[in-house]
Structure 1
Amino acid sequence: MFVTPAFAQTEGADAVHMPPQSDVAATRGETVHAAPEHGAFPPFDPQFYPSQLLWLAITFGVFYWVLKRTVLPRIGGILENRRDRIALDLEAAERMKSDADEAHAAYEQELAEARDRAHKIAQDARDSAREDAEKERKRLDAELDEKLEAAQARIAEVKRSALAEVDGIARDVTDTILREVAGIEAGSDEIASAVDAARG
């Protein structure tokens, strides 16, 4: 049924060296019958269908058994591992997201507290500066009041001394005028009373 390469080569060699059988038979005077021709290609021959179906069922059964025993469990294990890994990754992502949210909330709270502290510090600084300015103003006012009172006291003293000198000068001038211009001799008491009366 099957022709091996060696058999094909042998047949080819015999065909080259040996004359055809018809020629040999013709020389001998014998009748040569042609070899019967084979039917269809064996896989397409209906008489081989049962064996082919049997081998197909056996092959499919072995293939199914191999898939069920080795390949499918491995694929199932790989899918399970991937499912577990994805679940772990999702859980880790959720945990990281919650941590990030907590960190953001803590940051916002600390930022708000820092703003409150800065506002309080600024307010305290303003209040302290205002109090210091008020104290300095009061101190300067008190110092100016003291200086003003001292100046007024000095002015009053100078005024009194000036008035005393003016009285003396007025008495001297009056005495000189009375003596030299009018030729009148007057006592100091009379001149002082006249000056006081004129001053009002």
Structure 2
Amino acid sequence: MFMTEAFAQEAGSAGEGHGDPTEGTHSETSGGAGGHEAGFPPFNSEYFPSQLLWLAVTFGVFYWVLKNVLVPRVGGILENRRDRIALDMEAAERAKQDADEAQAAYEQELAEARERAHSIGQDARNDARSEADAQREKLEAELDARIDESRARIVAAKTAAMGEMNEMATDVAETILRDVVKVDVSRTEVASAVAETRG
């Protein structure tokens, strides 16, 4: 570009027919150097109004996008999470209540089962005691009957033995009176005498 302008100026100078051919080049070069000394365009004060305008436009667009797109979307996400957390909390509370009710029902059933077991054990003990008492009474009755029977047998045996002894004593006394003493007595008198002696 600089070369093209230099050539143009050189051609102009040649058409005019005066001056040094390198004079235009030096002037252009110095002009280009002066334009370059203006600096980086964003730092140039003549561009400040347009930069401020574009900054305001960009900030406005960003604010509009932030307000109408990003914030509602983030708010919706937060609301959904809040609702989900609330539902989870309600579900956890219901689960806790159900667990408490189940535990209370379990404890009540356990207490009732213990009471039934105690009642069954008490009934079993009472039945066993009643059965044992009945068995004991039955055995006592059988023992009493056997004792009475034994006593009767003893009395009968004693009576029989006494009768036999009286008979033997009568025989011996009759034999002695008849053979030794030579006394003639009747058996009835001898039996009466023996009975009186033993009585």
**Matched residues, number:** 179
Does the C-alpha gap of structure 1 residues 108 and 29 become closer, same or farther in structure 2, counting only changes over 3 Å?
A: closer
CA RMSD of aligned residues (A): 2.3
Gaps of 5+ in 2: 4-9, 11-19
**2 CA distance for matches of 1:139 and 1:198?**
46
Partner of 1:193: 192
Counterparts of 2:177 and 2:61 in 1: how far apart (Å)? 166
Q: 1:184 aligns to what SS in structure 2?
A: coil
Which amino acid is 2:100 matched to? Answer: D
User: Structure 2: how far apart are the matches of 1:89 and 1:29?
Assistant: 89
- Residue-by-residue CA offset, 1:121-180 (whole Å, 9 max, x unaligned): 000000000000001111111111111111111111111111111110111112223333
Partner of 2:130: 131
The 5 A counterparts of 1:114-193 are 114-193=113-192
Query: TM-score of the superposition, structure 1-length normalised?
Result: 0.82
2:89 aligned residue: 90
Larger CA deviation: 29-38 vs 99-108: 29-38
CA distance in 1, matches of 2:171, 2:194: 10
Please, which runs of 5 or more residues in structure 1 have no aligned partner? 1-6, 15-20, 22-27
Q: Secondary structure at the match of 1:108?
A: helix
Distance across 1 between alignment mates of 2:196 and 2:133: 52
Pairwise mapping of residues 46-61 of structure 1 onto structure 2 (< 5 A)? 46-61=45-60
For 2:160 and 2:146, the matched residues in 1 are separated by: 20
Q: Which residue of 1 aligns with 2:13?
A: none
Considering Cα pairs closer than 8 Å and 6+ residues apart, tell me whether 1 or 2 has the greater RCO. Answer: 2
What is the percent sequence identity of the aligned residues?
Answer: 56
Shift of the 195–30 alpha-carbon distance from structure 1 to 2, 3 Å rule, reads: closer
Identify the residue that residue 30 of structure 2 maps to in structure 1: 35
Structure 1 residue runs of 4+, over 4 Å off? none
**1:17 aligned residue:** none
CA shift for structure 1 position 30: 4.2
TM-score for the superposition, normalised by structure 2 = 0.82
Provide, for residues 86-127 of structure 1, a one-character-per-residue CA deviation record: whole Å limited to 9, x for no partner.
000000100010000000000000000000000000000000
Q: Distance in 1 between matches of 2:86 and 2:45?
A: 56
